[in-house]
Chains A and B, each alone.
Chain A
Amino acid sequence: MDELAELYQSILLEHNKNPHNKKKIQCVSCSAEGYNATCGDEINVDLELDNDVIKDIGFTGQGCAISQASGSLMTLFVQGKPKQEAAELANKVIGMLAGDAPIDPAQWGDLAALGGVRQFPARIKCATLAWHALLSALKQ
């Protein structure tokens, strides 16, 4: 079970237990749902935009520890960012999780913790679910 500790790093378990921004927000400018039909994980992402800047973000739904922790981390990383930048980050995270380039913690910060899923191909979709939902919301 050693690989397991690498996947479920304490930072992810902590985000799963006490997720940030797991809430409904007041003035929703756009929102989108991410649903993983194979496992039933669902995440709904709501955004409040102010001149193309993400003023507030909230997510709801249920799923495995990885999908929930990833959603929580995501909200911390995109809050206050312009739409364009948030979309770029989402694409970069999705690319990082699908690829095999070394993950530099200095570049990724806490998001590096998500990299553990790369050893568990069946779980990559769990980690990218929230980010895909963010991208759909931003497209609206």
Chain B
Amino acid sequence: MRDDFPIFKNNPRLVYLDSAATIQRPQAVIDCISDFYERFNANVHRGIYDLSEHATQLYEGARKRIAAYIGAESVIFTRNTTESINLVAHLFEEQLGAQDEILLTEMEHHSNIVPWYLLAKKTGAVLQVVNIDDNGDLDLDDFAKKLTPRTKIFCVTHISNVLGTVNPLKELIEKAHRNGTLVCVDGAQSLAHEKVDVRELDCDYFASSAHKAYGPTGIGILYAKKELLKNARPYQGGGSMIHRVSFEKISFAEPPMRYEAGTPNISGAIGMGAAIDYIQKIGLTTLLQHDKTLLAYAQKRFKEIPAIAIIGNPKKRSGILSFRLGKLHPHDVATALNTETIAIRAGNHCAQPLMKRLNEPGTTRISFGIYNTFDDIDRLVAALEKTLKILS
């Protein structure tokens, strides 16, 4: 599988353990993007000529395959998870007031905090936060307590990008719905690491990015239930998102076009389609098994070094593991590993409130892709032992 990824041909010694930040791309996805520019490049939804027609088919075809992959009829193309969540927050702007509450969790990424904070400031609504327990799971009692008649929307990550916690979405969504609360899922880490079926989950909004799922940067998706978008206000204004325009009156296009103002990221969308094809070719079951096997192996090897403390112990963990190495600061560890061409992430992972809860200045984190091997973990562990010797 490693052979599918040209980055390793160009960097033969690279041990890449930072796929949760952004994953490496297979040749098939890279080829699909250059192929588009070399053979089919034209704007979409505009030209009468064949080339534009073909580009439109590729773009809309990608949308269909991506939507089908998550069990949806359609999706809106955005830049990334962050933009998708900002879009959802924007939709709520005219619906919230000082009597309303927005419910978040302690393990959210800044992307799923800041848009809601801004919305709360604008509308007067109040932010509430579900606590996590010491294992890094959501505290379900606290969730039940904070879910009140005032709670209009619950915003929760599918997978924690720090602890790897996979949240019990179905149960959370069911409880929220029984309370009359809508649910927005941050699925940034999901597409290549967990099964997503928005219909089965019954989530109201689902946001994700391609670049963590073997696809290009600059493209993401937002799924929203059809009835929630039907009469929803527009987001950005411009070409493509309109039906009729005069200086006196403008009518808007139906979703998803209403939310895709201007020329979209055409090659990105097509590349994301190719990434989903790649995932399906390998098979999600294989991807999940790979995460699981590597995770178990890393945990076993980490236990051999007393100075390593794994952070959190969630009931279900994805291919993401944060740890502490003795008293060393995560950045010093990352610098040391870098000198051995091992790429890992260190810092607060855009989750400062979670760091505060964990009482850590930051963590050292590894995360997997299908190209990682046992040998990667062995090299990591050897480098960690060496780091301990040099820096302690």
Contacts and interface: CB of A to CB of B under 8 A. Distances in A.
Q: Do A and B come from one complex?
A: yes
Interface of A: 1-5, 7-8, 13, 38-41, 62-66, 120, 122-123, 126
Contacts of B362: 39-40
A1 B361 contact: no
A54 to B, nearest CB: 28
Interface string B352-381: 100100000110000000000000000000
A4 B347 contact: no
Nearest to B329: A64
B250 interface: no
A3 B387 CA distance: 12
Given A4-B335, A5-B390, A39-B330, 19 more contacts: A1-B336, A1-B390, A2-B339, A4-B390, A7-B335, A8-B332, A8-B390, A8-B391, A39-B346, A40-B348, A40-B361, A62-B361, A63-B329, A63-B331, A63-B361, A64-B330, A66-B331, A120-B338, A123-B331
Interface in B326-352: 328-332, 335-336, 338-340, 346-348, 352
A41 B331 CA distance: 10
Contact of B332 (A1, A40, A66): A66
Given A64-B329, A64-B332, A120-B335, A39 B390 contact: no
B386 interface: yes
A13 to B, nearest CB: 7
Contacts of A13: 391
Interface in B21-57: none
Nearest to B331: A64
Interface of B: 328-332, 335-336, 338-340, 346-348, 352, 355, 361-362, 383, 386-387, 390-391
Pick from A4, A120, A122 the residue with the most CB of B within 10 Å. Answer: A4
Nearest to A1: B339
B142 to A, nearest CB: 26
A7 B336 CA distance: 10
A45 B387 CA distance: 30
Contacts of B336: 1, 4
* Nearest 3 Cβ contacts at the A-B interface: A64-B329, A64-B331, A40-B348
A91 to B, nearest CB: 25
A65 B332 contact: yes
Contacts of B339: 1-4
Contacts of B335: 4, 7, 120, 122-123
A40 B390 contact: no
Nearest to B347: A39
A39 B332 contact: no
A21 to B, nearest CB: 19
Contacts of B331: 39, 41, 63-64, 66, 123, 126
A65 B331 CA distance: 8
Nearest to A8: B391
A52 to B, nearest CB: 35
A39 B340 contact: no
A9 to B, nearest CB: 11
Given A4-B335, A66-B332, A40 B352 contact: yes
Contacts of A1: 336, 339-340, 383, 386-387, 390
Given A3-B339, A4-B339, A40-B361, A65 B391 contact: yes
B391 A40 contact: no
A5 B389 CA distance: 11
